[in-house]
A and B are shown apart, each in its own frame.
Chain A
């Protein structure tokens, strides 16, 4: 069942038979037909539906902390507690604080907010299509909107995290370096990675509910594969001491979140950042987005039938 739908904006001066038959009131012609093959992301259509992305995001944000006693305090507590655990586990017990020039809590927290955003987005994305089953089987809209809205909703928590980071920096009387202006770029990197992985997992979860159990596990593993709780040089030193070449280090950065969390530390705290490593992560993030979205587009035609 390889089908496709094309929606064409009819140019007002078009001379086709359709345009002649067209009433002046409306200039929209929708052709519904099966069209075999892969489909690219229809950015024009997504743009048309941008308000729906906004409303679904807004809904998710509104609903997230409804009927919780602590409310949005969870957005502060979650990254803070995790960071504190890392500080004790890696910084104190693992003795890694000696390797960093900045306070270890700051060091962890700067990466943690990026990671947390990625992790919540991906896990919300994974469930997103299944929880919106009623929408998908009753209304048409570009399906990619659903995972996009999940990633969008996480942004609010992320911004709260940034606020906490600012407070911590003031508390530690830490002045950020000039490259802090590049922070938004790394945020974009996180979003790209999250949308790529999230849409892939969302599409897979529709067909295979197993991914409900895979996703939390995957995220847990992924966290340890990302330099959130530990400094990167611990890992590079380890690789060097075992005689692994630099290729292995670059390979490690195929995990886009490795590059992005390092980017956060670089721009917020002035930690060193290897540009070739960052490039690997950036390319990997883009590839993930293309792969995730393409797979999503390939299978989305079946969503309404099987969800």
Chain B
């Protein structure tokens, strides 16, 4: 058996709700508050003042052997970030105990402490020092870091003139050259473009194979599955599952599909609205028949968005993001592709309708985000994961294969016998 790198025993963290409000009180209240603070302390000590408290984490225990890459997954608000913050000593637990064997570096954000007025070179040193590197260590790795980032031309330019992509690349280059024994990473992959994410994943795979211990929080199930051999699932501050990654991801996905609606009709009051737009309805339904939230693979679907504009705009477009359960955008479809906008207007009421062909999606859950775009450039309304639906494969067009098919989509494409053409396919 290998040695333990991290040992967590009964960690709990309690937050006082409304603390932030308290922190921003007025001068008069502050004085009164300071005067009454000893009193509240007494109340606190006697344990009577339990109102407005809530446990972000409760009784969390797990061990991480040296060299293991542990994934931590869970829905928003499950306590993942709080756990990482406790383990990286940013905030302290209310109860319990964690023992960490080895140097820890935590990467809860890319580019922590970057200063816009300083040059790229200066920021490498500053950021490195903040992440726990010594000056000699940075000196030694400096060229490597710059190489990796690909911004050597702009090293002496203040980073406020950098594009956001350059900033992220430089920041990740620094982080990638940390050499701690234990690395704590939170959702770092959520930033940056696809290329950057691939680079991150590759680098993390390197880290994982060098025998370092990694704690990795992500919503990206694909990343978790490819990097981690074990995962824990947090739900409302408790460990719900602690097992091999595949099993835990399965639990997570099951949890997710329970809480989704395939169509939403908003009332007058709860409709998402702003000064431009009020959304009235988003629905996914089969082209014929009623919506049940679960659709057959062989049935064409129709996504409808009904909304109201507050003023006459020059052009409004609707964009849909279809996201898989692994949080990958399977595809995007937008009315902006058309020269003439296919939204049907009745006075200020607009109706957009998107047809998803049959035999195109894969058998899994999809979540749909709706974006409303003005003048083909400015997003004026964004509803993330507003509806979700499940695709199931009843009448099997899948031949004899009963296993789950890989892929964000599973389109039924044309396959022809190539005998009509003498040219090899590749030359086409």
Contact = CB atoms under 8 A, between A and B. Distances in A.
B23 A31 contact: no
Contact of B88 (A1, A56, A140): A140
Given A32-B100, A63-B118, A136 B19 contact: no
Interface stretch (A15-23, A114-122, A182-190, A253-261): A15-23
Main secondary structure on chain B at its contact with chain A? mixed
Given A22-B3, A55-B126, A140 B90 contact: yes
B154 interface: no
Contacts of B24: 209
Given A63-B118, A304-B85, A32 B92 contact: yes
A294 B415 CA distance: 75
Contacts of A304: 85, 90-91
Nearest to A52: B129
A305 B15 contact: yes
Contacts of A56: 126, 129
A138 B108 contact: yes
A304 B88 CA distance: 12
Nearest to A25: B181
Contacts of B129: 51-52, 54-56
Nearest to B127: A55
Most chain-B CB neighbours within 10 Å: which of A51, A304, A306? A51
A276 interface: no
A33 B106 CA distance: 18
Nearest to A207: B23
A32 B87 contact: yes
A32 B89 contact: yes
A265 B91 CA distance: 46
Nearest to B114: A134
Interface in B77-130: 85-104, 106, 108-109, 112-113, 115, 117-118, 122, 125-126, 129-130
Interface in B49-92: 66, 85-92
A119 B5 CA distance: 46
B93 A30 contact: no
A31 B100 CA distance: 6
A130 B201 CA distance: 33
Contact of A31 (B25, B99, B134): B99
Contact of A18 (B33, B99, B112): B99
B20 interface: yes
A139 B87 CA distance: 11
A18 B25 contact: no
B43 interface: no
A3 B94 contact: yes
B94 A34 contact: yes
Contacts of B99: 18, 29-32
Interface in A2-56: 3-5, 18, 21-23, 25-26, 28-34, 51-52, 54-56
B226 interface: no
Contacts, number: 135
A142 to B, nearest CB: 10
A32 B98 contact: yes
Contacts of A59: 115, 118, 122, 126
B113 A134 contact: yes
Nearest to A22: B101
Interface string B21-56: 001111100100110000000000000000000000
B198 interface: no
B420 to A, nearest CB: 61
B356 interface: no
A19 to B, nearest CB: 10
A137 to B, nearest CB: 7
A135 interface: yes
A32 B97 contact: yes
Nearest to B14: A1
B89 A26 contact: no
Contacts of A213: 27
Most chain-A CB neighbours within 10 Å: which of B34, B93, B96? B93
A134 B110 CA distance: 11
Most chain-B CB neighbours within 10 Å: which of A32, A136, A141, A301? A32
B26 A139 contact: no
A141 B130 contact: yes
A67 interface: yes
16 contacts: A1-B94, A5-B92, A23-B3, A23-B181, A29-B99, A30-B99, A32-B93, A32-B97, A32-B100, A33-B93, A33-B96, A56-B129, A62-B122, A134-B109, A137-B90, A208-B33
Interface of B: 3-4, 11, 14-15, 19-20, 23-27, 30, 33-34, 66, 85-104, 106, 108-109, 112-113, 115, 117-118, 122, 125-126, 129-131, 134-135, 181
User: What are the 10 closest A-B residue pairs judged by CB atoms, nearest first?
Assistant: A3-B92, A140-B89, A33-B97, A55-B129, A26-B102, A32-B98, A30-B100, A304-B91, A210-B27, A66-B117
